[in-house]
Structure 1
Amino acid sequence: MSAARGRRAARPPSLPKALRNWATLQGDDASDCKVVLHRSNGIRIAAVLMLTVCAAWAAYGMSKWVSRFPTDLDPLEGFSLLVLLGVPGIWAANALRRRTVLSEDGVEMRRLLFTERRPWTSVLSRFELSTIEMKGEAAEGRIDRTRIVLVNGASDDVIRLPGCLIGSSVSKNSRTRGRSALYGLKYFISRRKWNAFDVKDIKPDIGLLQARLNHGGEKMADKARLTFFTPMWRRIKEGLCDRELFCICMGALCLLAFSLDSSDIDSESRNAAVEGILLLSGGALIAYPAYKSRTCFRRVVVTPEGIRTAGRSFPWPASRSSLFVAGDRIFLADRQGRPVALDGAGVALGGFQRRQEKLVARCEAIWYWGVAHGATRESGRYVPLTDADMQREREIFEKRSGITAPSTA
């Protein structure tokens, strides 16, 4: 009996039941243990079948198309074949390729073309649920999709984890299933102690230290003001993948229907009311994503009077520690301990580590400019954030970048 108990205790931890259809456990205690989060087994089987059908259809269609080259070649037929096979083929390849790998080294997000890796010191356990719900006021049922997302600095910017679409249901609430999966994922991570580290034990990162030294702030010290404008392309892409791309496609279809109806030379068959509805609906559906994405195009203007972003001006911080990096974003800790995102001063190119190096260098350059123009100086007053999770991520980044936080006032 004791030997059996010992064997059971020696077994590697298994995946929670809520994750077994969307995750695969690789390795055990004796090797590198990894959790691969992917689309459900049913979706992956459908993707394999879709790729097989597309490949067979493409081979058959291309053989017929090329056999008529060049005398009876129809370019429109070839384009139609490309569209009909390309759209489902890309969806199938995307469903099989996209996945999130969790290991002792951090979080690896594998997309169709690119892969991004983030260490646990920048991720912690800041996973949340994102649910897209479509429900009419008088409807008894609902259509919703729930996925696991990663908080990027603050909760106003989340990253969809590839392959982590936990539930998509009709007339049922997929968020309940998502909560179980999220709880199981966090429990597994804490059991493996991947994110169980003490801030005092974190060692400085050489790349971040070099970025602080080579910030290049002296090159912009002669400018009367600093202006940064970097569009948040990743957030725009996240919005398009959620629902905005669907709105744009529906708006384009409405405008296409309007153009076809208005081009009819037979005036008796035209309906002015229908044309007006199509034109207004198409314009509204396309304008809605453009209106929502306006927050992704913000300037950050640095002057001796303060730092202006999102239409508001904030006074200069009294300590260099109030300018910090969380995720791949720059934040300013105001005097009340609230984080203010300086998204316009971000960077868009490079891997995650490289982006963090550029951001910490930009923080140093902004502070250098403020000191050179007499706008601020180091007072030794440290302002902690009111958000505990974000404050812990800030303290970890301070240790990694070699910033010595002054004492709290």
Structure 2
Amino acid sequence: MTERLHLHGSQYSWLSSVFYIGYLLLQFPTTYILTRLPIGKYLGGSLILWGLCLPLMATCSSFASAATVRFIMGMLEAGLLPTCVLLTATWYTREEQPLRTALWFGPFSGIFGGVLAYFVDSARSTLPAWKLLFIIYGVATVALGVVCIIALPDHPDNAWFLRPSEVHQAKMRTQENKTGLSTRQPWNFSHIFEATKDAKYWLIVIFAIAQSITNAGITNFSPLIISGFGYSRGYTVLLAAPQGGIALVAQVAASIATLYMTDSRCLFWILSCIPAFIGVLMIRFVPLSTHRNTALMGLYLTGFYNTSWVMAMSLVSSNTAGATKKSFTAVSLAICYAVGNIVGPHFFLDSEKPHYHSGIDAMMVAFATMAVCGGLYRYICILQNKARDRSVQYRLLPALPEEQDETVFSEPDSDKTDKEVLTFRYTY
């Protein structure tokens, strides 16, 4: 692709960054859209349009044309991450959310994509392998978008697979979340002010930027780093697949463990940064001439980085109530994801290929920052929960009858934030 598009200098990095510039520009409109539209239909429509853009990449013959398509694709992907965060909060209990997040954000593409790329590259075709891959993924994405529009409900009330009695049960099973059920509420600026005054929000912001810098390196440059170890092109794409497998196993295993270990998400957030940090140390300092397989093992260890992202997203979903506040926080997460992915590729200097020492150093700093954010997030949640337990307001709060407490969160028009619900306790 680099040869066919006549890329040179930092243009490969800019093809990655320009995607997230488009992604970033549409995040603020997305905050409003998610409070006004059925999010299941919005997700499906975004997927269809995004899938239609993918084959256009195969028609590009220059950096300018490819950058234009990538920019549009970034805009169309803007709503996917916050939409999935909101759907997770709507349908699943706090305990269930980490595993569901791990599955919908699972690196299946890293596993399947490497294997598919290997076989497409080996096949005899009149089209170059990279063009054929864009077409295959485009068709698959459009098909998934159609399925979402037809079959994905955005709320239990319009779930075609639930009987009337089950609709009520679906609402009641998530009542303990105390985050509300509906995202289609009037715009409420007080929710945004409340979010920005919370230290947890800013820790998520810092973490998301740091994590996305590592994501930019791992996603865009892993094959180039592996190629620098001396492997052939065919084996390079195949050898990239195990990293996705390690990431998937790690985040699913950690998510299942949270079902049995109370308030352990921040713990796994922190612990997952350690093997990833060790992995980049191995890539940076192991001599490739004699230990290239060891360096490759280090690259695989970086797959643990995804676990901390899954834990953080599930905490955003579990710890945020109020329609506008949920939308704003989810979109903020996506904005930071975009910022990190815009900045990240430019640490990988073309003059340093194939070893990219500056990029690897940036990833080391980012992993350390991610671990610190996880520890501080846990500490603040503990402090805030203790403060609520000591609160005179809480001690004097009359016990709500079960049916009254049920109404507060099961009615679609309730729109209380986590700060306003005095019985709300933050999970960590």
Question: TM-score of the superposition, structure 2-length normalised?
Answer: 0.24
Greater helix percent: which structure?
A: 2
Larger Rg: 1
What's the TM-score, normalizing by structure 1?
A: 0.24
Higher relative contact order, chain-length normalized (CA < 8 Å, sep 6+): 2
